[in-house]
Structure 1
């Protein structure tokens, strides 16, 4: 193996930390503008998230509190927030271990400036030889397309069968990579939006782990 390619959200850090921190910034903005209790607003947002998902939280919070707000402005506060987030301990340890031993790549979906914001908050650029935020290249570049994997293999200067791809979401993290003959590993952590999701063989990874500390054994097994 010559290269490791990682997903970002819920693979290297807990995405909920970003989501909750961004909600706090929106709650802070609304509480100051409308003289409302910030903690109550925040708790209400978390309740809406748990019950309804992310789609209409700001619409619902404005309706509940009878707030006349431009929803798109609240969305921008959320997307441009800078909450305190950090790498999972095992992820940081493994990235440090890999430096100088393997080429390292990152492929992440999502709105480009939001993902780059997360990358900067996590100080990830120091670890990676190539970072691809698929939204920078258009919708047809998003996972599970093969396109981001073709590009990152070119940028890392390795063949497909010399890459291990590590992610958490079987809907998109492995299908395109497997089409190219890239080795795939799914990390199933205690928390995360997709940890209990199971799909067909084409969408699941070749191997599963519960933490990055297991990756050394996976690499050794693939080298045999």
Structure 2
């Protein structure tokens, strides 16, 4: 029987990206409180985000601050997040690992940001670090083929799965390569909302919970 290779997206697939955003806002709010004696910044920033406004520009205006936007972004992207895996996600990863399947990640983003997420989630308990492909350090982002070909070249003659959530870019490359593509449906909390797309972008399967992956 052929070995199976399961490659996951990170944000809004293995955890909810909104949790990272809230963690970053909390850290920035604590910094504003300690450094500028600003109170209630967390609730204000979150309300700005929910209204689709420029969070950091509005924060400067509301609290009469002169903080460079680059300073906000550095703290947002570089903070060590307080995030965790849902128990059902842990169970799925554990089950795949004990079945001796290969596990990997392909994620777009900055090396420091995505690496901090992977560490905070404890994903290296299930996935080898060299199988965690981050676009900034790998040199290619979705929908390029190269990250998917990395797994095909490293683990030839296997059955390949890609599990993601972003229908605009996650499934184009693995569809071209003949992988089994699986989309985790948005439960209303995703940063990037899902929409109807053409066949090229559409996954083979839709699931509402990662536990359904074990059935597939």
Is residue 177 of structure 1 aligned with residue 178 of structure 2?
no
Q: Name 1:29's counterpart in structure 2.
A: 31
Q: CA deviation at 1:100?
A: 3.5
Is residue 146 of structure 1 aligned with residue 148 of structure 2?
no
Question: Secondary structure of the residue that 1:52 maps to in structure 2?
Answer: coil
Q: CA deviation at 1:103?
A: 0.7
- Decide which moves more: 64-73 or 5-14: 64-73
Q: CA deviation at 1:177?
A: 0.8
Q: CA deviation at 1:137?
A: 2.4
Matching residue within 68, 92, 95 for 2:93 = 95
* TM-aligned CA distance change 1:71 to 1:195, over 3 Å: closer
CA contact (8 A) 1:132 1:152 kept: no
Q: CA RMSD in A?
A: 1.5
Task: Please give the per-residue CA displacement for 1:28-83, whole angstroms capped at 9, x wherever unaligned.
Answer: 1112222121xx21111111111126xx3212211222101122122111112223
Task: Please give the per-residue CA displacement for 1:134-180, whole angstroms capped at 9, x wherever unaligned.
Answer: 11122xx101111110112223x134x61011011111110111111
TM-score norm. by structure 2 comes to 0.91
Instruction: State the alpha-carbon separation in 1 of the partners of residues 163 and 33 from structure 2.
Output: 40
Instruction: State the alpha-carbon separation in 2 of the partners of residues 193 and 70 from structure 1.
Output: 25
Matching residue within 162, 165, 178 for 1:165 = 162
Q: Name 1:114's counterpart in structure 2.
A: 113
Matching residue within 197, 205, 210 for 1:207 = 205
Q: Name 1:222's counterpart in structure 2.
A: none
Question: Secondary structure of the residue that 1:166 maps to in structure 2?
Answer: strand
Q: Which runs of 5+ in 2 are unaligned?
A: none
* TM-aligned CA distance change 1:158 to 1:91, over 3 Å: farther
CA contact (8 A) 1:149 1:177 kept: yes
Question: Secondary structure of the residue that 2:104 maps to in structure 1?
Answer: strand
Question: Secondary structure of the residue that 2:211 maps to in structure 1?
Answer: helix
Instruction: State the alpha-carbon separation in 1 of the partners of residues 88 and 196 from structure 2.
Output: 24
Q: Name 1:221's counterpart in structure 2.
A: none
Q: CA deviation at 1:91?
A: 1.3
- Decide which moves more: 189-198 or 16-25: 189-198
Q: CA deviation at 1:204?
A: 1.2
Task: Please give the per-residue CA displacement for 1:175-223, whole angstroms capped at 9, x wherever unaligned.
Answer: 11111111100011412123542211111100110001111221xxxxx
Q: Which runs of 5+ in 1 are unaligned?
A: 219-224
Instruction: State the alpha-carbon separation in 2 of the partners of residues 194 and 74 from structure 1.
Output: 22
Instruction: State the alpha-carbon separation in 1 of the partners of residues 76 and 174 from structure 2.
Output: 31
Instruction: State the alpha-carbon separation in 1 of the partners of residues 126 and 196 from structure 2.
Output: 31
